Amino acid sequence: KAMHAGADAFYQNEFNVVFGQKMEEELQIQAIGQEQVMVYSVPDALSTLLTRSFPTGKWTNYVGSLIASNQTDGVHLSVFDDYFIVLILNNGKPHFVNYFKQTGADQNKYLVLNACVQTNTNPNDSNLNVTGYSAERDMWIQDLSSYFANAHMQHAPDAGIGSTLNNEYPNHSYAPYFIF
């Protein structure tokens, strides 16, 4: 969505139409660049918990940070233990973003390729960028990469000091809110 004057009330009304009236949730509006915003709600209990637990920290939705950190066109996958996030950028703007639960290899590939079809993205002309790739667990991504012009896999080194320094990377835990 594009940002405009009086956005809070407008987005609150639109959010209520789509998801219904949420009495105990706080609406959040996060700028994601190029005059676009991401609108989401946070349950009051979670908002209070985050504010009390991290009084000097800032917190934001993980997807907003993901969109802001990826500026190149193509298909971006962030892989976690039980799910993955697909982000498709065209002309520097997000055209698709969604969470998917990891299931079978064929279904995972279908979900990514179907997202490409929905956004008129031709995999043969696009780059696949993967963060959180694990060769032992994510063999389906190797198969998926054959559909794309180029594939870039980002994962931690598995030997030497790089392995020691990055033994917690990538962080494979569910984290819809990113605290910094």
Domains of the chain from N-terminus onward: 7-57 (no CATH), 66-165 (3.30.420.260)
Whether omega before 176 lies within 30 degrees of 0, making that bond cis, reads no
- Tell me the C-alpha to C-alpha distance, in Å, between residue 167 and each of 54, 96, 162: 25, 31, 8
Asked if residues 129 and 70 have their Cβ atoms less than 8 Å apart, the reply is yes
HSE-CB of 120 using CA atoms within 13 angstroms:
2
Longest dimension (CA), the chain: 54
Across the chain, mean pLDDT equals: 79
> pLDDT value at position 116?
96
Tens digit of each residue's pLDDT (9 = 90 or more) over 55-105: 777 777 778 878 877 778 999 998 887 888 999 999 888 889 888 999 999
168 phi/psi in degrees, rounded to 5: -95, 0
Ramachandran area for residue 18 (φ above 0: left; ψ -120 to 50: alpha; else beta): alpha
Average pLDDT over residues 136-157: 87
CB-based contacts of 94: which residues, under 8 Å, 6+ apart? 32, 36, 67, 87, 88
How far, in Å, CA of 99 to CA of 178, rounded? 16
